[in-house]
Amino acid sequence: MKKLLLLMVVALTMTTAFGQVEKAKSLLDEIAATPDDAKLAEAKKAINEAIANAKPNKLAYIYNVAGQVELRYLNQEIDKMQAEQPLDTALFISCMDKAVEYFTKSYEIDHTPDAKGRVKPKFDYGDKYTIGEHDGNLVWMKRIIGYYLISAQFCYKNGDKHRAYEYYMKHLSLPKSPLFTPAQRDSIYKSDSRYPLVGYYATILVFQDKDYDKVLQTVDYAIQSTDETTREDGYHMKSTALLQKGDTAKWLATLKDAMENTNNVNYPQIILKYYYDRHEQAEASKIADEFVAKAPNNKMAHYIKGVVLMDEGKDLEARKCFQDAVAIDENFAEAVSNIGVTYFNEVRELNQKATTDNKDPKYKAQQEELKAKLLETKGYFDKVQTLAPGNPDLWEAKLNNINSLLDVVNTNLSEIAKRDKK
């Protein structure tokens, strides 16, 4: 009699759990046609009772429906957001977490091998006889994959940077969920342009806190961005983190990568300074040669080679490299400035060699040659001033020197002209 009673209790429990999940599913179907807060609350109560009373072999189905219940709450908040109405951000975030938890549990149970070691999933994509052919675990997870980003933005706007970072990380890691195969994971990362930006946001938050280990966990997302500013900032944060951690080899490798993939002249200059400080000019020259060979259409390759040659005192060869860089980008202010520097070095040589005796027969011709060279040189720095007015280091001191020399030369030529009239 006791055994029979026990069996009846077990059967009743199973029937109750199954009945509750069916009730929840039926209510969800009704709400899909006509939203109803009372029915949604009833569906949530039913699914919670189903979870509490279910046999293990029914949980895959129950957790799937539980995930759908949470998404129904979440979608109501999205509707408010789209209508520009106040919404419950805490509820949004909570439902998002629970939905992911439930779909993941459903998937894991659904993919557990049976007694014979076979895996026969039923709820990846669903079917029209049970949960609905568009209500599978994989289907829903792909649909909601961007909702963690919304959760992160809510936290950030509310001033909670630590939780914002937590949800940025959840967004970044969701494609690594066991629900997705490696191929599906890679496809999600490649097809969604938000990941580099989300990685950038996450990295900024921990970079501000100088948590360099966490910086290195996410910064490569930013570096993969097609946006130049995002990419440059990413390289800056990565190189800084590696330098602070004392990893010189990876720091140099990152600088070389940045040199090849950004238009920021600071990176090649940092590399050159590193080798020059160690009196390893040959290594600097080797890097420049390899860069030009690898990327002949990259303006930075010609620029860095020009810098190396100019430091070696080979101005004519350096000028050719800077001219090659400008041929690729006519607005490359740093390269134009360095062309001007090579000409200004010629001005100095002419000035040093010129006679100071205004009675010397060569004096007038030398002053005229000097003036012509000064005007040619001035043209480059005038252009740099136009290209980079906010970066006076590239042109201001040079133009002041040139204008001062021009005043002297013009005065000299004027005095000669007066003397010749007498």
DSSP class per residue in 287-346 = HHHHHHHH-TT-HHHHHHHHHHHHHTT-HHHHHHHHHHHHHH-TT-HHHHHHHHHHHHHH
Q: Which of 283, 303, 282 is closest to 292 using CA atoms?
A: 303
∠ Cα 78 80 84 (to 5°)? 115
Average pLDDT score over residue span 385-394: 95
Of 48-52, 123-127, 348-352, minimum mean pLDDT range: 123-127
- Which of 141-150, 163-172, 362-371 shows the highest mean pLDDT? 163-172
Check whether 302 has a pLDDT greater than 90.
yes
User: Can you give the pLDDT at residue 305?
Assistant: 94
Q: What number is the average pLDDT over the span 246-262?
A: 93
| Predicted local confidence at residue 6, as pLDDT | 42
DSSP assigned state of 56: G
Which distant-in-sequence residues (6+ apart) come within 8 Å of 289 by Cβ? 305
Using CA atoms of 193, 242, 164, 175 in order, give the dihedral in degrees to the nearest 10.
Answer: 40
Average pLDDT over residues 300-311: 93
Nearest Cα residue to 416 out of 358, 351, 354: 358
The share of the chain scoring above pLDDT 90, in percent, equals: 66
pLDDT of residue 58: 86
pLDDT at 57: 80
Which pLDDT score is estimated for 129? 63
Task: State the Cα–Cα distance between residues 310 and 368, nearest whole angstrom.
Answer: 27
Confidence class for position 154, pLDDT limits 50, 70, 90: very high
- The Cα 47–Cα 24 span in angstroms is 6
Task: Return all residues near 74 (Cβ < 8 A) that are at least 6 apart.
Answer: 91, 92, 95, 96, 99, 144, 147
Q: Give yes or no for residue 4 having a pLDDT over 50.
A: no
Q: Are 303 and 316 in contact (CB under 8 A)?
A: no
Band (pLDDT 50/70/90 cuts) for residue 94 is: very high
Mean pLDDT, the chain, rounded, equals 90
Say if residues 138 and 125 touch (Cβ distance below 8 Å). Answer: yes
pLDDT given at position 422: 62
In this predicted model, what pLDDT tens digit does every residue of 168-184 receive, in sequence order?
A: 999 999 999 989 999 99
Q: What is the pLDDT of residue 346?
A: 93
- The pLDDT confidence band at residue 54, using thresholds 50, 70 and 90, is confident
Answer yes or no: is pLDDT of 269 > 50.
yes
Least confident of 44-58, 229-243, 370-384: 44-58
pLDDT given for residue 156 in this prediction:
95
How much is the pLDDT for 130? 72
Mean pLDDT of 121-148: 84
* Of 326 and 18, the one with more pLDDT: 326
Higher pLDDT, 29 or 410: 410
What average pLDDT does this structure show over 263-281?
90
pLDDT at 135: 85
d(CA 10, CA 1): 14
pLDDT per residue as tens digits for the range 192-201: 889 999 999 9
Is the separation of the CB atoms in 175 and 142 below 8 Å?
A: no
Tell me which DSSP letter residue 120 carries.
Answer: -
Does 258 score more than 50 pLDDT?
yes
Q: Mean pLDDT, to the nearest integer, of 291-300?
A: 92
Q: Is the pLDDT of residue 360 over 90?
A: no
Amino acid found at 261: N
Taking the C-alpha atoms of residue 91 and residue 81, their distance in angstroms, rounded to an integer, is 13
Specify the higher pLDDT residue, 35 or 139.
Answer: 139
